[in-house]
Chains A and B, each alone.
Chain A
Amino acid sequence: MRFHPAGALSAAPATAFDARALRAEFPIFREPRDTPLVYLDSAATSQKPQAVLDAMDRHYRTCNANIHRGIYAIAEQATAAYEDARRRVARFVGAPSPAEIVFTRNSTEAINLVAHSWGRSQLRAGDAILLTVMEHHANLVPWQLLAAERGIELRFTPITAEGDLDLVACAALLADGKVKLLGVTHVSNVLGTVNPVARIAQLAHDAGALVLVDASQSVPHFAVDVAALGADFVVFTGHKMLGPTGIGALWARRELLESMPPFMGGGEMIREVKLTGSQWADVPWKFEAGTMPITEAVGLGAAVDWLERVGMDAIWAHDQELIAYAMSRLSTVPGLRVLGPPAERRGALVAFTLGTIHAHDVATVLDAGGVAVRAGHHCAMPLHEHLAIAASVRASFHCHTTTDEIDTLVLGLERAGQVFA
């Protein structure tokens, strides 16, 4: 039995999972290189299985056409492929209807959509937005822009010494009823913390606030059911879930989407246009102005199929084994300090500092051994400031990651320690 973020206990057998066999499905690992690629940066962007590349290639080769308007065979096929991708993504995250999935460029655009459309139409001076100190810049900067424009107060739920959200403080920050939106990341991209989003959503709803969950780091790794989360808005991005760049999604209840004004204006998002005014298309198309990344949506649909074939519970079980192994191995490296909670409350990533050695120096030594990690602030500068460090090194995993690769990481870290001793 192992920890499952949705609260259930998963008993997926680890032996059924063959990371090496899955690895063979990723062309990037088959490229000839002097040093084998040890890719430990899936939290920045994931690698793509052959099935995703094939689906996009096939789409371009067989039915490339603009969607929702062409009165010819391949245009109808292209429209069907795009809307089929929406259906698959909706089913994958438990959305009751495909109309509740709005395609965006990525999570960042999805959050900007909510800030511009819902935020500008609903929030007034004196209202507050409650975020957390562990947010990615994507769930911080759009709200700063809105706050400056509208005279809205930003509040931040702090973290405990272990790197968990302080829910007592969160409840206190909600108490005066001024908070109209609570934004929280499902899994911290630095601390790895899996946040108790359902409990937080309950607190927020009790205080009269809507809830936006940044699921960029959770949807790629475990089964996320938007209905069960209790959130009002959920955003995620395709390129972190084995899909292509340029495609992401916003989920929100249909009535909520219908109540929101458009985000961007242009073609595709209208029903009727006159020179002096227009009527909007139905949701979700009302929010999809201009020609969308059609082939990327098809690629995301293929990624979802691939993830479902492997099984999200199996992927999560593999993640849990990897992170437990990594935490145990990293604890043997002299001077290494892990940021965030113990393995039991983590997603598939671990950020750390190594003595006083700068993260870029560590990453450069690792790179010479073929190990790709992220070094810097991982788009979470306020969190690094809170932790009083300039930068950290982050290793993140996915289904193709093996314990051998974690051993290679540890060897490289020991080497970095020697070089800069």
Chain B
Amino acid sequence: MSPGWDELFRDEILDHYKHPRNHGTLEAPDFTYEDANPLCGDRLRMDFHVGDGVIKAARFTGHGCSISQAAASMLCERVEDMTLEDAKRLSREDVLEMLGIELGPVRLKCALLALKTMKAGIYGMRQWPGEEDASHP
């Protein structure tokens, strides 16, 4: 059965899309990462401040479809005050649960862009404190 007009985009998704939380950039972020789904044109940049292994602030900017942008907004809200270790454990199921709608394979990539971007940032950051790779930006 095809979904009705209103089940497609839950009010919460539209609310996050139209009024994104944590939108913007951070001064001197502890880690930042930018990623895109070139096939859809979705693009995200995510900035994080981290202290004592805890995400103190998360911000995103970008453009794209409602699913990609709402997922970024929801994820930023969710990970603030979360430990890095817990943030690393967030899975696609967690993101889909936040969104609360069924997604086909194409839209799934939109939904998971924020998680992918955040994890790339987190894992990329691990190299910096030990100075193993000083040339890393």
Contacts and interface: CB of A to CB of B under 8 A. Distances in A.
Contacts of A33: 2
A367 B41 contact: no
A415 B42 CA distance: 23
B41 A390 contact: yes
B107 A360 contact: yes
How large, as a class, is the contact surface on chain B?
20 to 34
B2 A361 contact: no
B40 A419 contact: no
B4 A368 contact: yes
B107 A376 contact: no
B78 to A, nearest CB: 22
A415 B5 contact: yes
Contacts of A368: 2-5, 8
Interface in B63-90: 63-67
Nearest to A358: B65
Contacts of A367: 2
Interface in A26-70: 33-35
A75 B41 CA distance: 51
A113 interface: no
Give the one of B63, B64, B65 with max A CB within 10 A: B65
B41 A391 contact: yes
B5 A365 contact: yes
B39 A376 contact: yes
Given A34-B2, A35-B2, A420-B66, A364 B41 contact: no
Interface in B1-21: 1-5, 8-9, 14, 17-18
Interface string A397-421: 0000000000000000001000110
Query: 7 closest pairs, A vs B, by CB?
Result: A390-B41, A358-B65, A360-B65, A391-B41, A361-B66, A361-B65, A368-B8
Interface of B: 1-5, 8-9, 14, 17-18, 38-42, 63-67, 106-107, 110
Given A360-B40, A364-B107, A419-B9, 19 more contacts: A358-B65, A359-B65, A360-B107, A365-B5, A365-B9, A367-B2, A368-B2, A368-B4, A368-B8, A369-B5, A370-B2, A376-B39, A377-B41, A391-B40, A391-B41, A419-B5, A419-B14, A420-B14, A420-B17
